[in-house]
Amino acid sequence: MISKLLNTNTLIRSTISNRSLFRAKSVRQSFPGFDGQLVSSWPGTLFSLSLYLVASIAAFFSLSGVAGAVQQTSTADHSKFEQLRGPFENGPAVTKACLGCHTEAAKQLHKTTHWTWAFDNALTGEKLGKKNVVNNFCVATATNWPRCTSCHIGYGWKDDKFDLTSEVNVDCLVCHDTTGTYKKFPTDAGHPNYEPKMWPPKSGKVRQPPDLVKVAQGVGKPGRSNCGACHFYGGGGDGVKHGHLDSSMHNPKHATDVHMDVDGLNFTCQTCHTTGGHQISGSRYAPTATDEKGIDIPGRTDDSRASCESCHGNTPHGAQANAKLNQHTDKIACVTCHVPEFARGGRKTKMWWDWSTAGRKDQHGKPLVIKDADGYDTYDFKKGDFRWESNVVPEYRWFNGEVRHATMGKKIDDSAVVPINVTSGSYDDPKSRIWPFKVMRGRQPYDSENKVLAVPHLFGKDGDAYWKSFDWGRAIKAGFDATGQPFSGKFGFVETEYAWPVTHMVAPKEQALSCDACHSRDGRLAKLGGFYMPGRDRLQWLDWLGWLAVFGTLGGVSLHGLLRLLTAGKRRSS
């Protein structure tokens, strides 16, 4: 039955690619073994009829231009390629077949951050990327490779000896699968499971291995869910990390994201994050805080549509809009008004993660997990305390695109909250604009003598792994040892914060912030210093003095009038 369903998928896709209802029949015939397999019994006939119906509907939508994301314009039908007939033993075997024709693909991918997990920030000179940074979610990739690299676009990054020059270990399918059936197994260093396997462990829920042949034959342009498979689940779960990227973005509503709205514009990720040679534009490490190029046209472009201005320009508000809106674009990022809240798709995002409380057991001696009314875990013995929020109002900062990170081994000042990244910008800096941020806060382990954030060894089958022994001392030492850093033996937990620019989940324009949201005494920018803002700021002494004059005069003339009234009788009698 599963293989039949997969066939359905293929049929619909092929029909759409042919863009014609009437040619669906011929496409069916072009699939070896398709007819015989399905039209062998009455239920089979019914099934194939219903298939036909589904295909017709899909074709109709494709003709009327609604289908969007699934629409294919490719000149190649991969299901016709002999090289993809399989069978395939594993992921790398598929990649080998891909590379047979796409000879340069792996070389291109080797140059991307998606592959290297390393990023040289030209602006700050910092060495970033998942390999080098520390965050306040699962802290760091080092020593936890097989778990973390389930989101690497490769196969087999299970320790720090992974061969970054290997071509067959590039995972083509995770991005190019269009069947929706290919999933990397959470703990297998980027491989899908090749045998039925339980996840979560001992849960009784079995994950079937993907049908690599079907997946390989069904490759195409990535859709939202390809990127989303990792980017919606960053930080270890749905919506955990970003808050403006979560599973509600697979097929978002208009109210969640006007561009990706599945019934509207239906953008994919790369509609904006344009690609060339597998390089994907847009970077959180080196964001474009102010796109002065405006609308990109050939000859005048930064080869990226990953900024609002790339399509909307720097004066996007129409003639009927308040003229001040277009004047505001020099100092205010589009998303500041147009993403009034994040985590708006009905999912919550993690706002607080306190590692220091991890390891607790309930009264029966069983590992403790506490969930809130909506099913979100507010305590997990493996990870500590969490706070989840939806429809979150961002925090706002002046931002010019320069971010500095507390990378592995950097000294910290533990006398206050430790900023894991420091964003630059000010009112006086013409490259700065006001940007919205999700600020993730929490407490995480550090070497309290050397003043360095720990790289805890969390995942693994060995006894040093925190999730095996629940011994922080061992886990922290193992992490420091593995990354070649000294460890004083003393550790503690320090409060940290990490600012993430909010860029997705652009709301319908009716929901954009009104002027009052910021231009008021206790508005959203109440804490943003360095400039005078009408409606928010005043000189306190001038206000005191002014109202004293006004009410003093009012009191004076009232008294004067009262005295005149009181003396009026006397005047008349005299």
Binding residues (CB under 8 A) for other proteins: these are 322, 324, 327, 514-516, 519-521, 531-532, 534-539, 542-543, 545-547, 549-550, 553-554, 557, 560-561, 563-564, 567, 571, 574
Instruction: Closer to other proteins by CB, 178 or 329: give it.
Output: 329
Please, what is the minimum distance in Å from the beta carbon of residue 554 to other proteins? 5
Give the nearer residue to other proteins in terms of CB position, either 417 or 568.
Answer: 568
Identity of the residue, 378 or 567, whose beta carbon is nearer to other proteins in the bound complex:
567
Q: How far is the CB of 567 from other proteins (least distance, A)?
A: 4
Return the number of the residue (42 or 532) whose C-beta is nearest other proteins. 532
Residue 361 in tokens? 């057991």
- Ordered alpha helix ranges (H), 315-385: 323-328, 334-338
* Cα–Cα distance, 165 to 277 (Å, whole number): 17
Amino acid occupying residue 6: L
> Shortest distance, CB of residue 557 to other proteins, whole angstroms?
4
Distance in angstroms (rounded) separating the CA atoms of residues 423 and 434: 12
- Residue 188 CB, shortest distance to other proteins, in Å, is 55
Nearest to other proteins of 164, 563 (CB atom): 563
Determine the residue type at 260.
Answer: M
Residue where the block lists tokens 């498979």: 229
Smallest gap, in angstroms, from Cβ of residue 312 to other proteins? 19
Burial tier of 245 (Cβ tally within 10 Å: 0-12, 13-18, 19+): buried
Question: Do 88 and 213 contact (CB within 8 A), yes or no?
Answer: yes
Under 8 Å between Cβ of 447 and 488: yes
DSSP 509: G
Residue 388, phi then psi, degrees to nearest 5: -115, 145
Judged by CB, which is closer to other proteins: 46, or 323?
Answer: 323
Which is closer to other proteins, CB of 292 or CB of 516? 516
Residue 129 or 523: the one with the smaller Cβ distance to other proteins is 523
Closer to other proteins by CB, 25 or 564: give it: 564
CB of 560 to other proteins, least distance (A): 7
Q: Which C-beta is closer to other proteins: that of 113 or that of 336?
A: 336
Task: Please tell me what DSSP assigns to residue 193.
Answer: P
The CB-based long-range contact list for 510-516 (8 Å cut-off, 24+ gap) reads: 511/255, 511/340, 512/337, 512/338, 512/340, 513/336, 513/337, 513/338, 513/340, 515/324
> To the nearest whole angstrom, how small is the minimum distance from the Cβ of residue 248 to other proteins?
31
Tally Cβ neighbours within 10 Å of residue 423.
20
Least Å distance between CB 328 and other proteins? 9
Q: Take residue 527 and report the two structure tokens written for it.
A: 């804490």
Please list the residues that pair with 492 across neighbouring strands: 446
Per the rule left: phi > 0, alpha: psi between -120 and 50, beta: everything else, 228 is: alpha
Q: Which CB sits closer to other proteins, 463 or 552?
A: 552
Q: How far is the CB of 395 from other proteins (least distance, A)?
A: 21
| Shortest reach from residue 524's CB to other proteins, in Å | 13
Which of 241, 240, 259 is closest to 249 using CA atoms?
259
Cα R_g (the chain), whole angstroms: 29
DSSP-assigned states of every residue in 219-281: B-S--HHHHHHHHTSTTTSTTSS-SSSSGGGSS--TTT-TTT-TTTT---HHHHS-EETTEE-
Q: CB within 8 A of 541, min separation 6: which ones?
A: none
